Amino acid sequence: MEKKRKIVGLCGSLRKDSYNAKLLKEAGSFIPEDIDFEIVGFNDVPVYNGDIDIPEVAERPESVNKFRDALATADAFIISSPEYNFSIPGGLKNAIDWASRGKDAPLMHKPVALIGATQGMWGTVRMQTAFLPVFTFLNMNPVLQPEVLIAQAQNKFDENGNLTDEKTLSLIKRKVENLISASKV
Protein backbone atom coordinates (compact mmCIF):
# COMPACT_ATOMS: atom_id res chain seq x y z
CA MET A 1 0.00 0.00 0.00
CA GLU A 2 1.33 3.39 -0.99
CA LYS A 3 2.03 5.88 1.79
CA LYS A 4 -0.40 8.78 1.88
CA ARG A 5 1.37 12.05 1.09
CA LYS A 6 1.62 14.80 3.68
CA ILE A 7 2.13 18.54 3.85
CA VAL A 8 3.20 20.04 7.18
CA GLY A 9 2.40 23.61 8.12
CA LEU A 10 4.47 25.83 10.41
CA CYS A 11 3.20 29.11 11.84
CA GLY A 12 5.77 31.77 12.66
CA SER A 13 3.50 33.45 15.20
CA LEU A 14 2.86 31.95 18.61
CA ARG A 15 -0.04 34.32 19.38
CA LYS A 16 -3.36 32.67 20.22
CA ASP A 17 -5.32 34.82 17.75
CA SER A 18 -2.64 35.03 15.06
CA TYR A 19 -3.53 36.12 11.54
CA ASN A 20 -0.84 33.75 10.30
CA ALA A 21 -2.41 30.78 12.10
CA LYS A 22 -5.69 31.68 10.41
CA LEU A 23 -3.89 32.06 7.08
CA LEU A 24 -2.23 28.66 7.48
CA LYS A 25 -5.62 27.04 8.11
CA GLU A 26 -6.99 28.74 4.97
CA ALA A 27 -4.05 27.36 2.97
CA GLY A 28 -4.75 23.91 4.40
CA SER A 29 -8.32 24.10 3.16
CA PHE A 30 -7.01 24.07 -0.43
CA ILE A 31 -5.10 20.82 0.03
CA PRO A 32 -6.95 17.89 -1.57
CA GLU A 33 -8.41 15.27 0.77
CA ASP A 34 -6.04 12.58 -0.51
CA ILE A 35 -3.11 14.50 1.01
CA ASP A 36 -2.73 14.79 4.80
CA PHE A 37 -2.19 18.25 6.28
CA GLU A 38 -0.86 18.80 9.78
CA ILE A 39 0.10 22.01 11.53
CA VAL A 40 3.10 21.36 13.77
CA GLY A 41 3.82 23.61 16.72
CA PHE A 42 7.15 24.38 18.35
CA ASN A 43 6.17 26.29 21.50
CA ASP A 44 8.14 23.94 23.75
CA VAL A 45 11.32 23.76 21.64
CA PRO A 46 14.19 25.31 23.65
CA VAL A 47 16.53 27.98 22.33
CA TYR A 48 19.16 26.27 20.18
CA ASN A 49 22.32 25.39 22.10
CA GLY A 50 24.98 23.16 20.58
CA ASP A 51 25.84 21.88 24.05
CA ILE A 52 22.50 20.02 24.15
CA ASP A 53 22.60 18.83 20.55
CA ILE A 54 24.20 15.81 18.91
CA PRO A 55 27.17 15.04 18.90
CA GLU A 56 27.83 16.84 22.20
CA VAL A 57 25.10 14.77 23.84
CA ALA A 58 23.72 11.33 22.98
CA GLU A 59 20.19 12.59 22.38
CA ARG A 60 18.48 15.89 21.70
CA PRO A 61 15.82 17.24 24.10
CA GLU A 62 12.52 15.32 23.86
CA SER A 63 10.59 18.36 22.56
CA VAL A 64 13.13 18.74 19.76
CA ASN A 65 12.91 15.03 18.86
CA LYS A 66 9.12 15.27 18.76
CA PHE A 67 9.29 18.37 16.52
CA ARG A 68 11.87 16.84 14.15
CA ASP A 69 9.92 13.56 13.96
CA ALA A 70 6.75 15.45 12.98
CA LEU A 71 8.65 17.33 10.28
CA ALA A 72 10.22 14.13 8.98
CA THR A 73 6.76 12.86 7.99
CA ALA A 74 6.33 15.72 5.51
CA ASP A 75 6.69 15.57 1.76
CA ALA A 76 6.40 19.38 1.60
CA PHE A 77 5.93 22.40 3.87
CA ILE A 78 3.82 25.53 4.10
CA ILE A 79 5.17 28.26 6.35
CA SER A 80 2.90 31.15 7.31
CA SER A 81 4.69 33.87 9.21
CA PRO A 82 4.58 37.49 10.23
CA GLU A 83 7.58 39.75 9.84
CA TYR A 84 9.46 40.77 13.00
CA ASN A 85 12.03 43.56 12.73
CA PHE A 86 12.13 43.15 8.92
CA SER A 87 12.99 39.46 9.23
CA ILE A 88 12.02 35.95 10.36
CA PRO A 89 10.47 35.75 13.85
CA GLY A 90 13.02 34.45 16.36
CA GLY A 91 10.93 31.50 17.57
CA LEU A 92 10.42 30.20 14.04
CA LYS A 93 14.08 30.67 13.12
CA ASN A 94 15.09 28.86 16.30
CA ALA A 95 12.82 25.90 15.48
CA ILE A 96 14.24 25.77 11.95
CA ASP A 97 17.77 25.85 13.38
CA TRP A 98 16.97 22.73 15.44
CA ALA A 99 15.46 21.05 12.36
CA SER A 100 18.43 21.87 10.13
CA ARG A 101 21.11 20.01 12.08
CA GLY A 102 22.55 16.61 11.24
CA LYS A 103 22.43 14.28 8.25
CA ASP A 104 18.82 13.46 9.13
CA ALA A 105 17.66 17.11 8.98
CA PRO A 106 13.94 16.78 8.17
CA LEU A 107 13.72 19.97 6.10
CA MET A 108 16.47 19.12 3.63
CA HIS A 109 15.61 18.82 -0.07
CA LYS A 110 11.87 19.37 0.36
CA PRO A 111 9.52 21.83 -1.35
CA VAL A 112 8.28 24.76 0.71
CA ALA A 113 5.66 27.45 0.17
CA LEU A 114 6.02 30.65 2.17
CA ILE A 115 3.09 32.94 2.89
CA GLY A 116 2.59 35.74 5.38
CA ALA A 117 0.22 38.26 6.86
CA THR A 118 0.86 41.45 8.75
CA GLN A 119 -1.10 44.44 9.95
CA GLY A 120 1.49 46.70 8.32
CA MET A 121 1.78 47.93 4.75
CA TRP A 122 4.62 45.73 3.43
CA GLY A 123 2.92 42.35 3.67
CA THR A 124 5.92 40.33 5.00
CA VAL A 125 8.09 40.97 1.94
CA ARG A 126 11.26 41.37 4.03
CA MET A 127 10.60 38.22 6.06
CA GLN A 128 10.08 36.24 2.88
CA THR A 129 13.30 37.61 1.42
CA ALA A 130 15.14 36.75 4.65
CA PHE A 131 14.10 33.11 4.20
CA LEU A 132 15.88 32.68 0.86
CA PRO A 133 19.36 32.02 2.38
CA VAL A 134 17.80 29.55 4.83
CA PHE A 135 16.12 27.68 1.97
CA THR A 136 19.40 27.72 0.03
CA PHE A 137 21.35 26.25 2.97
CA LEU A 138 18.73 23.51 3.40
CA ASN A 139 18.63 22.86 -0.35
CA MET A 140 14.87 23.27 -0.20
CA ASN A 141 12.76 23.92 -3.26
CA PRO A 142 10.88 27.17 -2.54
CA VAL A 143 7.68 27.74 -4.47
CA LEU A 144 8.11 31.43 -5.23
CA GLN A 145 4.98 32.16 -7.26
CA PRO A 146 2.53 33.53 -6.68
CA GLU A 147 3.71 35.67 -3.81
CA VAL A 148 1.28 35.75 -0.90
CA LEU A 149 2.12 38.92 1.03
CA ILE A 150 -0.95 40.02 2.98
CA ALA A 151 -0.81 43.63 4.15
CA GLN A 152 -3.36 45.12 6.55
CA ALA A 153 -4.49 41.67 7.63
CA GLN A 154 -6.87 43.15 10.19
CA ASN A 155 -9.08 44.24 7.25
CA LYS A 156 -9.03 40.87 5.43
CA PHE A 157 -10.35 38.46 8.07
CA ASP A 158 -13.87 38.40 9.46
CA GLU A 159 -14.82 38.07 13.14
CA ASN A 160 -14.75 34.26 12.80
CA GLY A 161 -11.18 34.26 11.51
CA ASN A 162 -12.08 33.57 7.89
CA LEU A 163 -10.12 35.25 5.13
CA THR A 164 -12.62 37.28 3.12
CA ASP A 165 -10.42 38.82 0.42
CA GLU A 166 -11.20 36.89 -2.80
CA LYS A 167 -8.03 37.95 -4.62
CA THR A 168 -5.89 36.72 -1.73
CA LEU A 169 -7.81 33.44 -1.54
CA SER A 170 -7.16 32.92 -5.24
CA LEU A 171 -3.42 33.52 -4.73
CA ILE A 172 -3.29 31.07 -1.83
CA LYS A 173 -5.08 28.41 -3.87
CA ARG A 174 -2.57 28.81 -6.72
CA LYS A 175 0.36 28.75 -4.26
CA VAL A 176 -0.87 25.46 -2.77
CA GLU A 177 -1.42 23.99 -6.25
CA ASN A 178 2.13 24.99 -7.21
CA LEU A 179 3.50 23.42 -4.01
CA ILE A 180 1.70 20.18 -4.75
CA SER A 181 3.00 20.23 -8.30
CA ALA A 182 6.56 20.96 -7.17
CA SER A 183 6.49 18.17 -4.63
CA LYS A 184 4.70 15.64 -6.84
CA VAL A 185 2.45 15.16 -3.82
Question: Using one digit for the tens of pLDDT, what is the confidence trace for 57-88?
Answer: 999 999 999 999 999 999 999 999 999 999 99
Contacts of 165 (CB under 8 A, 6+ apart): 150, 156
Residue 177's Cα: distance from chain center in Å? 16
User: How distant, in Å, are the alpha carbons of 4, 48, 78, 164 from that of 168?
Assistant: 29, 35, 16, 8
C-alpha 89/C-alpha 14 separation (Å) is: 10
The pTM of this model reads 0.96
Angle subtended at Cα 90 by Cα 89 and Cα 93, rounded to the nearest 5 degrees: 90
From the list 86, 90, 153, the residue with the least C-alpha distance to 118 is 153
What confidence tens digit (pLDDT) does each residue in 95-150 have? 999 999 988 899 999 999 999 999 999 889 999 999 999 999 999 999 999 999 99
